[in-house]
Chains A and B, each alone.
Chain A
Amino acid sequence: MTTQAENTSSGLMAKAVKEGIFAGFIAFGMFLLYVGIETYQNIDNQLVWRTRWGLLAVFVVVAAIGRFLTVAFFKPMVDRRKLAKAKTGVLEISSEKSFFHKHFLKIALIALLLYPIGSVMLFGPQGSLKYVDNFGIQILIYVMLAWGLNIVVGLAGLLDLGYVAFYAVGAYSYALLSANFGLSFWVLLPLAGILAGFWGVILGFPVLRLRGDYLAIVTLAFGEIIRLILINWTDVTRGTFGISGIAKASVFGIWSFDVSSPNYFPKAMGLATSSAWYKIFLFYIILALCLITAYVTIRLRRMPIGRAWEALREDEIACRSLGINTVATKLTAFATGAMFGGFAGSFFATRQGFVSPESFVFLESAVILAIVVLGGMGSLTGIAIAAVVMVGGTELLREMEFLKLIFGPDFTPELYRMLLFGLAMIIVMLFKPRGFVGSREPTAFLKERKAVSGSFTKEGHG
């Protein structure tokens, strides 16, 4: 018995070593030209090349060791766990959930509410800027955008590759109307949402008959059209220069965040003059906007229109034969999704104080869509987690100074952002093909059933 076990384990080691070496060779072949050789311009402005054997060696060794560890330790561990689960017969989804799992939403909400206060207490107003602005606000904007896109892609199943267009419409609506007519943030926020929703309907009409790939191509084109208009309609949008000096949001018109203003908020509150207070204020605005988005999505899912969206995703022909007006259903999905994109856009404009077409490139659409897919289409919790991992992760890369010690002083981790993004997507799709939260929570229950499945009663399903 023991000899047999030793036999298999030594066999496993041999296999792992072999596969590790093989992976090293493949990595060498793949990265030889990309990493091993670098081109640069010398002092005479000539393009010359030099080799980076050290860096190439790091890549090869990482690939080889990674493969070795995967085959030797990680896979057997996963297999053992699967086997153990199969033996005990415990299903992966058990009704007994841990305290953390049960109250995840409440804990997350309280943590978010306390987050800016905590970072001010820990790092002081100036030190908290990085955490509140770069991490907090940045992530929440993407959460909101992804939740908005989730209505179109996750619920209604309409693949939209040009979602950033609505974000742009929202941002420019705010920027232009505030610059030209002096309207305040609180007036323009709903207005930007309505305008973006209107554009959602405009996009929706021509693409009503399209599905899947064809729809994706047309929405992609729509996103590019909006961006090109913003670049070329220089009289209004000032082209690539963008619009700067966009008015800050005020505290409901009572206090202002302009230092020169007589009712400057920190002064009125007796706080030190710092831009951190404005960022904290913005953090709470975007948090509120996110919560509104989530609330509306949850409510809509239980209303006829939300059910119709989900049914439309599943089967359009069946929908029609059940008396659902698929035209109206698609248009409302586009309009609702676009509206939230517009809200996020106007928030983005007031936060940056500057908008230019460069903020609304296709890559943004792709990132938002990636977050929706990674999180699990239709799942709000999953999408929020995906946004934290993806956006927070790339922000974190900027902080990784120690990487310079490994890869040399001119290594800029931000440049590898997309590489890591892609890697993360591949890994998640391999292990969780339906995203972080792949299961869909049902919305229909009969009374007697409700008592039985306690895990579904938490949100007051009716």
Chain B
Amino acid sequence: MAGENLLKVQGVETYYGNIRALSGVDVEVNKGEIVSLIGANGAGKSTLMMTICGSPQAKTGQVIFDGEDITRLPTHLIARKRIAQSPEGRRIFPRMTVLENLQMGANLDNLKYFKEDVEKIFVLFPRLKERQSQRGGTLSGGEQQMLSIGRALMARPKLLLLDEPSLGLAPLIVKGIFEAIKKLNQEEGLTVFLVEQNAFAALKLSDRAYVMVNGRVTMSGSGKELLANPEVRAAYLEGGRH
């Protein structure tokens, strides 16, 4: 199973107006892997994530998912290919309850698997079960992140894209969320593509990782290799971790 290619980003260039945000990015994600993308603010990590989702679309290059070119598909059709995303800033629906938020994730199958999937999510994140009839906007940051991941999982994704799941969260909660991601990967074989600023946690979790600087991928390797790499340590780890 592992080793088979699921997502392939080839020479992708993305522009915001005239400004080039990505200049020729190549990234591959194989089935069953956790791959992370680390880099500083403004390196283009989130742009790559959004380009995979088709908003904005890549100007040149190709995004191939499961052997199919999805570069020019509109966002909602890409989502229907079972690429689920927990977007930057979580973007849960604040006035809808936790359960309704999860329901929105299950819309692709018209709620066919809603009940069994909700139970799975509640096992993964028991906090959401306690809060199920509470409005999304009243949740804490960590709970909102859990909800955002849970909502993405409700779509039964082949590939889960996570954009900065640790943003603004306490270390203990980050640990819990990363453990949940690990568990999903090991038990369900879920493929995860993770964008993170928290390089240490991300590299420890990942099978492979890419480092991004100024819209280019400058380094890649296994998580362990990059953790040991002096350049990576100097730029992303020693400054950030105490």
Contacts and interface: CB of A to CB of B under 8 A. Distances in A.
Nearest to A443: B100
Contact of B94 (A307, A314, A321, A324): A314
Given A442-B97, A446-B99, A322 B133 contact: no
A443 B55 CA distance: 30
B79 interface: yes
Given A321-B53, A321-B85, A323-B107, A315 B132 contact: no
Given A314-B93, A314-B94, A320 B105 contact: no
Contacts of B91: 315, 317-318, 321
Nearest to B104: A311
A457 B17 CA distance: 52
A445 B99 contact: yes
B183 interface: no
Given A308-B107, A446-B132, A318 B76 contact: no
Nearest to B105: A322
B80 to A, nearest CB: 5
Given A317-B87, A446-B118, A446-B132, A304 B155 contact: no
B232 to A, nearest CB: 30
Contact of A307 (B79, B107, B132): B107
Nearest to B75: A320
Q: Which of A318, A321, A326, A444 has the most CB of B within 10 A?
A: A321
A321 B107 contact: no
A321 B133 contact: no
A318 B93 contact: yes
B93 A323 contact: no
A274 interface: no
A209 interface: no
A443 B101 CA distance: 11
B21 interface: no
A18 B91 CA distance: 50
Interface residues of B, number: 34
B80 A321 contact: no
A330 to B, nearest CB: 12
Interface string B49-87: 000010100000000000000000001110110001101
Contacts of B111: 304
A304 B133 contact: no
Contact of B96 (A304, A314, A320, A322): A314
Interface string A320-338: 1111111000000000000
Contact of B99 (A304, A310, A317, A442): A442
B110 A304 contact: yes
A11 B84 CA distance: 63
A453 interface: yes
B242 interface: no
Contacts of B93: 310-311, 314-315, 318
Contacts of B241: none
Contacts of B79: 320-323
Q: Which of B107, B110, B118 has the most CB of A within 10 A?
A: B107
Contacts, number: 88
A321 B161 CA distance: 11
A308 B107 CA distance: 9
Contacts of A304: 107, 110-111
A23 B100 CA distance: 48
A50 interface: no
Contacts of A315: 91-93
B95 interface: yes
B100 A323 contact: no
Nearest to B106: A322
Given A304-B107, A322-B151, A453 B100 contact: no
Contacts of A319: 76, 104
Contacts of A314: 93-96
Contacts of A453: 133
A326 B77 CA distance: 11
A97 interface: no
A444 to B, nearest CB: 4
B235 to A, nearest CB: 30
A318 B154 CA distance: 14
Given A308-B107, A318-B92, A446-B115, A323 B155 contact: yes
Contact of B97 (A317, A320, A444): A444
A310 B101 CA distance: 11
A106 interface: no
Contacts of A321: 53, 75, 79, 84-85, 87, 91
Contacts of A446: 99, 115, 118, 132
Given A307-B103, A321-B75, A444-B102, 5 more contacts: A304-B111, A308-B104, A442-B97, A443-B100, A445-B133
CB-based closest 9 A-B pairs: A323-B79, A314-B93, A318-B91, A444-B99, A320-B75, A442-B97, A444-B100, A321-B85, A323-B80
Interface of A: 304, 307-308, 310-311, 313-315, 317-326, 440, 442-446, 449, 453
12 contacts: A310-B93, A311-B93, A317-B87, A319-B104, A321-B53, A322-B104, A322-B107, A322-B108, A322-B151, A323-B80, A440-B95, A442-B100
